[in-house]
Copies of this chain bind each other. A is one copy, B any other.
Amino acid sequence: MNVELINTGSELLLGRTLNTHQQWLCRRLSDHGYLVARQVCVPDTGTSIQQAVREALDRADIIIVTGGLGPTSDDITRELIADLFQKPLRQDPAIVAGLREFFARRNRPMAESNLVQAMVPEGAIVLPNPNGTAPGLAMKVEAGGSKIEDGTGANTPSSILHPRSPRWLIMLPGPPRELHPMFTNHVLPLLQREMPTETFICRTLRTTGLGESALQEMIAAPLSQLVSAGLQLGYCARPGEVDVRLAARGPTANRIVGEAADIVQDLLAKFIFAEEDDELETVIVRTLTAGRLTLALAESCTGGCIAHRITNVPGASAVLLAGMVTYANVAKTKFVGVRPETLAAHGAVSEAVCREMAEGVRRETGADFSIAVTGIAGPTGGSPEKPVGTVFIGVSSSSGTVVSKNLNRYEREAFKQITAQQALELLRRSITG
């Protein structure tokens, strides 16, 4: 099952908006056995969108178009695709009622321009959008059934030139908070029903603390027999972590992926922090919540990045008592009890200060666990003994305090992210023992 993804929107090609749909949709499609063979981005103009759809029809079984379903003048996807397939548009009374209710519930008048969102190409399935005004649309494109005008202006029935099994064309609204639930709740079930793939199993094990090549060296040989039997083995390196993706198709898929996961879990045990989409901070908040344990932070060079990540997790307030961003030395002394003598003797970026920060913030807040970080994010502030990138990370609990020293030579923002990742991992290992 080949998928082609078409993202529409001039703001994407002007570089005004980051295209997050590509990664989000590709990830979910591939984890369910649908391969995205090509992604295309075109501006909000007639010929471009129609041309991209026409080209995709010759290559793909499933075509997903994002954007251009709203009520404003640059939202033209619906009309263009209805025109391309010569399907009349009809107003759907249920969508009209839904739109009126959407605005009534918010006490806002509904501009008549919104009614364009109730127009449905003949034969299309409506995908409800509880989070916005524009519903999605799914159209089955029968082999030989649709006349597609080609670029020359002549009417060439493309699907007759290339007889194929039925294909699906799916239109989704642009806003992520509308697209994401619509894809999960409506598109995926539709595809699994109408365009089922062979049994496909995919598991992702997320690791941290090992580089991609070191990790590959540890598991490639032990998995080689399963790879011969059909295991697809993939790696994805991100700042501070590497995901291992195990997938297989067919009747033996479940056994193959299961055996592979057992081998990887055996070999990489302590480096695996989660499966699938879980982030390190999610795992930590979940584990601390389950144990009714609390956390406090004393961050210098990460500047609030760890607190920000922890508080992105719903329910973090049950766990995090306080996070101190003690950037200035006086703040280290005043709020987390670092002794001025320690600062004078060792400097702010030192194992001794890191230890006092970790123990101090735990004492001051009464938390069960604490993290402390002090280092040199750069671009300036380094010295021959302590170059830019030097960082001390400490974790303290009733069983003691550990401090590790790292050299993270990255530009400022990557330095903060990678250091935060290392600190969260040190905490995770302290919690899980």
State the Cβ distance, A338 to closest chain B Cβ, in Å: 13
Q: Which residues of B contact A40 (CB under 8 A)?
A: 38-41
Complex interface residues of chain A between 282 and 304 (CB less than 8 A to chain B): 297, 299, 302-304
Interface residues contributed by chain A, number (CB under 8 Å): 76
Does B307 contact A303, Cβ atoms closer than 8 Å?
Answer: yes
Determine the distance from Cα of A334 to Cα of B336 in the docked complex, in whole angstroms: 12
Give the interface centre of A26, A304, A306 by most chain B CB atoms within 10 Å: A304
Q: Which residue of B lies closest to A325 (CB)?
A: B323
Contact B27 A14 (CB under 8 A): yes
Give A367's nearest chain B residue, CB to CB: B328
- Interchain CB contact under 8 A, A43 and B37: yes
- The answer to whether A412 and B314 have CB atoms under 8 Å apart is yes
**A29 on the B face (CB < 8 A):** yes
Q: How far is the CB of A380 from chain B (nearest CB, A)?
A: 7
Using CB atoms, name the residue of chain B closest to A3.
B13
Q: Is A400 an interface residue (CB 8 A)?
A: no
Bound CA–CA A18/B19 (angstroms): 8
A304-B304, A328-B322 given; A30·B13 CB < 8 A: yes
Of B11, B303, B335, which is within 8 A of A310 by CB?
A: B303
**Can you list, as one digit per residue, whether each of A14-44 has a CB less than 8 Å from chain B (1) or not (0)?**
1111111011111111110001111111110
Query: Are A322 and B335 also in contact (CB < 8 A) when A13-B36, A327-B311 are?
Result: yes
Contact status B26-A12, CB under 8 Å: yes
6 additional A-B residue pairs with CB within 8 Å, beyond A37-B48, A303-B323: A15-B26, A17-B23, A19-B19, A19-B22, A314-B379, A323-B325
In the A-B complex, the 9 residue pairs with the smallest Cβ-Cβ separation, listed nearest first, are: A303-B311, A15-B27, A304-B307, A15-B26, A323-B325, A304-B304, A322-B331, A16-B236, A39-B41
